[in-house]
Structures are given as C-alpha cells and as structure tokens.
Structure 1
Amino acid sequence: MALSEAWLKANNGKEREAVEVVADRDSMSVRISPKGKIVFQLRYRFNNKQERVDLGTYPHISLKDARLEATRLRGLLDQNKNPKLELLVEKEKNINPVTFKEVFLMWYESYCSKNKKEHESIKRMFENHLFNKLGNHPIDRIDISDWLGIFEELAGRIPGTAKNLLSNTKQMLKWAAKRKYIQTNILADVYPKADLNITSIPTKRVLTDDEIVVFYECLKWSRLTTKNKIFLELCLIFACRNGELRRAEKKHFDLKRKIWKVPPSNHKTGYKNDKTLIRPILPYMEDLIREAMELSEGKYLFSNGKNIDEYLTDPASTALPNSVIGWVKRFKKETMEHWSLHDLRRTARTNFSAFSKNRDIHEIMIGHVLPNNQEVYDLYGYVLEQAEVYEKWIEKLERLKG
C-alpha cells in the first residue's frame, strides 16, 4: 500500500522489536528503526548493482517532499548519473560552498591579470565595493536582488565606477558559468543605462593655455618629487596613456635611434593587433627620460617608490592631478577645475590638430587603431611625421613655460 501522512504520524517514534521496511511507490520506501525513527529511502539499480540512498528523516521532510526528491533522483538515472554520488557532491557543495571571493580570485589569476591592463584597479574595485558585502557568500546563492541592490546604490553615487564594476562582474560570472561554479550568469541581461539609469556623457575636459602655464608653475615650485614631475610632463607631451608610461621599462627607450617602443602588452589595443607602438624621442623628451632613468634604480622608468622591481601603481599616478590642483589652491589662491591624467592626453591631442591636418598621424601618436583596416596594409610607423607634430607641441609648451 502507499504511505500516508496519517500512517507516518502514527508510527513515528513508536518502538518495535526490529527494523521494519515499508514500501511506498516508485521504488521509495521507509525504514523504521526499533526506536521508531522513520527514514525515507530510494532503491534503484545502477551499473547492474542494487543501490539504496536515504532521502531524509520524517517529519523533517514530509511525504510529499520525499516523493518529489525520489522523482528528481530517478531523473538522474536517465542521465546515467548515480543518485548516491550526486547527493554526496551536493552535500559537499553545501558544506564547503565556493564563495564569491574565491571565484573572483580564480578568475583574476587565470584571466583578468593576464588579459586586462588595469587588472590591479579592477581588483581594488572589487575589494572596495563587493568583498565586504558578498565576498563570503556562496556564489551560486547570490540572488539578482543582491546584485542590483549594490549596483543601484553605486550608480547613484559613483556611476562611472558602477558601470565599470558591472562590466567586470558580468565577465567574471560568464567565466564562472562556463566552469559550472554557477548555473547561469544572472547579470547577463543587466545593462547600465536600461537598469541602472547610467548615462555616459563624454568628458570634454581640456586644459587651457592659461592652465598649462599654472601646471608648469606647479612643476617648478611645488614639493612634488622630481620623478612625479617628469611623469606628469611626459604624459602631457607624449599624449600617451598613463599606463603605457607607468609600465615602461628603460630598455623600451632606444636613445640611439631616438624612439620609444611600447610593446603590445603595455598598451590598450595591443591584445587586438599585437602591434608595438613607436613614438619618436625629441631632444627635450630625451633629457626628461634620461633624468628619470637616473632617478630609478630598477628596470622601470618609473618604479613604485622603494619597490624598485615594481612599476608605479595606478593609484599613485592618478593621485598626482589632485596634488597639482591642491598646490594651486594653497599657493595661488585659485580654484583649478578638476582634471585627470587622461585629460592631459586629450589636451595634447586637441593641440595636435592645430599643428597638422593629418588626423591619422594624430591617432597614431595617441595609440588609437586606424579605421578601415589601414593597420593591416599600412605598416609604416610615421615616426618622422609624428616628430614634426611633437616638435611644434614642445615649442608651444616652452613658450607657455616662459
């Protein structure tokens, strides 16, 4: 006969002389101990062997739920999976679940640190905004509401960070889903604009000539270290990405041939085109580079303080504009509109247009990919053409310095 809740309730805790097994249906039964403990079990054959697996103890699991679990486990047999082993795997996952932080660190080591130039900044972003809230949570139990609660709050305060963090979290969850740490990437259909109301407004900050004058006054009179002053000035002159200069090794500067080679691993588009950027080194640039080499003991042109085997960190470099702005406010009693290292790059690129009408040269100078497959067929470096623009740019900067 099939079991019923009434029968189970009547026999639960009822002592008997020996173990008793009572069948239900579909290979499920209950095993009752001499002291009346009732355990649901499922019998099945796997690999031509008789097997038995416990489903749970009554009344901690109801008859209805036991039957549902038995049905689920019988479904595993159709997938050529042994229910007993699958339950052991599930139990292990529940006892020692893989946490969000653990998955992030695996993704960071295997993918992020090897493929993303700003991987250190990405790691700090996760540490600052996600680890304290979700770091120890089992990653497969983090609900969409948990994610949205965090991202919506960040979007209201720091939309740029929220957008960047969402993008990297989605990539990490996609990586995790492929490796079966989670069933699906639940953030796959979450978008900055549609779901977080983040609207991207292109930054248009360019330093005026008057601001460049003040910039150089700061480099002359402030207590910024000589190394940091050189770093700022080279960012302004070359219009390079600050990461290209931070990661630059001394050997990348060929002072005999007067060129700076930026290997693919050191610039943003390198992973796409595997191309080395080549920039000319003019005499004034060379003087700054030689001075920086003398100040740095390690292999990098700009080492990370006393850690000579490490290059200048992103936080250390991105803090430099605030040092300049702070000096202006304190010593010149003026308010300088906020600018970033990337704004120095934009300032130079804007000025390049005044010296030459060849936009392709300007794009090459700042390391952008040329349109319409030009880089596939045109491998000429345009070093001399770049030098002509740089020369006019340096002449203007010299005039502004006074």
Structure 2
Amino acid sequence: MPVKALTNKTLEALKPKAKRYEVHDLLCPGMSVRVSAQGQKVFSVKFRYGFNQKRMKLGVYPRITLATAREKAMDILRQVDEGIDPTKRRRTPNMKVEAVCGEFIRLHAQARNKSWREAERILEREFVGTFGQRDIREIKRFDVLEIMDAAVARGSTYQANRILSNIRKLFNWCVERGIVETSPITGLKAPTKEESRDRVLEDDEIVRLLRACRNDVYPFRQFVPILLATAQRRRAGRNALERGRS
C-alpha cells in the first residue's frame, strides 16, 4: 500500500480505480485514506489495542478536512496510549462537585497525601457541603472566596488557609485531567499569614495535664501523653489516630 505525506492537493489527485485502494499518511502513522471504486475518500485510523488490530472511521473527505482527520486520529492514538479503548462508548463523566471531589480523593489524595482524610474532611464540609450539586466547571473565583470569607468571619483564620490550599490542589488536578481548562483561583493568596508557635509547657503544666488525662476517656487518655513523649504536633497526632481507626 502506498505511503505519502498527504496534502489537500494529493487528496484531490487520488482517482477511483476498479478496486478500492488505500493510501497511508506519512505524517500521521496509523491514519490512511481509502478511495472507493465510486471515488469516495474516507479517512480512518488503525491501532493495536491489546492483541487486537482495530480500525476507526474518521470521516469522509472533503466533509472532514485533512487537518481535522489528523487531529481526530492523534486523539484516538493518545487514548490508546493511556490504556483506553476508543471503540468502546464511554459513559459521560459526572462533573458535579461532589463526584469530582470523590474522584480526586480516591485517585490522587489517597496515593500521595498521608493526611488525605483531613483533606477529605475539609473538602466535604466546606466545598461539597456548599456546592456539591453544582457543575465544577461553573465554580468561579468568588465562590471560593465566599467559603474562605465565611471561615474568617467565624474566627477560623487558619482554617481559611487550609480550605484554599485543598481547593487549589483539587483544581490543579482537574486541570491536569482536562476537567477544567484553567483553575479559577490561580494567584489567589491565603487570607491569613501564619506564624510558627514556640510556646512550650512548663513542668507544672505537664503534671497537671497528665493528671487530667487519667480521668479522661479513650482516646485522649492515651493520645495526649503520646504527643508529649514524641513531641508530635497535634495535627500529626490526629492524622495518625484517624489512620489507626481506618
């Protein structure tokens, strides 16, 4: 079968023959144009998925242009590279905030973030709880600002920073996955400047704290002394406790 760098001039010059014939595109491996005995010119792309050789029709020239045919062929080949069978009809993805956040936690946060339960808690309470049934592609900058402003108004200034941090990670992931074109909160700054704390407990405070723990219930009776013994921060200890419960 002939191989040519297809151009519009080349396509126009392809004449019908007694039997159907095929010309492969040198500039887009896998793509070809079939010329029928009646002169119809049909673009298609061939690829191997698993052990099977498959072919997909791209369109009829000139109703579909050469550039569009190559673009569609490259998209199909890209799907194959990602392990997707383009011949299978795919379910329309659920773009609601609730569904996308769930996918973000399952596919991204759990595998990369040891404190993913904290991220899940913040997103579910602050983001999903407010916009759960909205299409995530419709979420605007002012929507996120509204959540952060509410946290600052109730005195949870550091929590507002955590909200922004987790929503930013969510939207960055959405951009990578092609769910949204751009993040609506690019360049948005944290509302509160955080300062590290260097306060330490005095000896008599530690004694009183340990005495109080004796009368407390699980898990704090065991939890607080462990934090003191290991010098763990409270958030790190909480995350460790949550992982132990799961």
Q: Same fold (TM over 0.5)?
A: yes
Instruction: Confirm or deny that 1:114 pairs with 2:127.
Output: no
In the alignment, is residue 180 of structure 1 matched against residue 178 of structure 2? yes
How far apart are 1:132 and its partner, in Å? 2.0
- Structure 1, residues 340-380: CA drift from partner, whole Å, max 9, x if none? xxxxxxxxxxxxxxxxxxxxxxxxxxxxxxxxxxxxxxxxx
Q: How does 1:377-396 map onto structure 2 within 5 Å?
A: none
Q: 1:247·1:312 contact (CA, 8 Å) conserved in 2?
A: no
**How big is each residue's C-alpha offset from its partner over 1:95-121, in whole Å with a ceiling of 9 and x where there is no partner?**
975112211111111111122121112
Higher helix share: 1
Query: Are residues 228 and 155 of structure 1, via their aligned partners in 2, closer, same or farther at CA, if it must alter by over 3 Å?
Result: closer
Structure 2 unaligned regions, length at least 5: 1-58, 74-91
Partners of 1:159 and 1:247 lie apart in 2 by: 21
Structure 2: how far apart are the matches of 1:148 and 1:203? 27
Shift of residue 228 of structure 1?
Answer: 3.7
- Distance in 1 (CA, whole Å) between partners of 2:94 and 2:238 is 39
Identity, in percent, stands at: 20
Task: State the shift of 1:312 in Å.
Answer: 4.1
Question: Contact conserved, 1:155 with 1:163, CA < 8 A, in 2?
Answer: no
Structural mapping, 1:2-401, within 5 Å:
47-48=60-61, 50=63, 77=68, 80=71, 98-157=95-154, 158-192=156-190, 196=191, 198-220=192-214, 222-225=215-218, 228-241=220-233, 311-312=244-245
Count of matched residue pairs: 169
Judge conservation of contact 1:98–1:138 (CA < 8 Å) in 2: yes
The CA deviation at 1:246 is 7.0
Q: Which amino acid aligns with 2:60?
A: N
**Matched-pair contact (CA < 8 Å) for 2:118–2:239:** no
CA contact (8 A) 2:123 2:166 kept: no
Aligned-CA RMSD value: 3.3
Could you say which structure has the greater relative contact order, defined with CA pairs below 8 angstroms and 6 or more residues apart? Answer: 1
Of structures 1 and 2, the larger Rg is shown by 1
Post-superposition shift, 1:203? 2.4
| TM-score for both structures, normalised by structure 2 | 0.58
AA aligned to 1:47 is: V
Query: Is there any run of 5+ residues in structure 1 with no aligned partner, and where?
Result: 1-45, 52-73, 83-94, 249-301, 305-309, 314-402
Alignment check: 8 A CA contact 2:115 2:239 kept: no
Question: Which whole-Å CA distance do the structure 2 matches of 1:237 and 1:127 have between them?
Answer: 33
Change (3 A) 1:246 1:124: closer
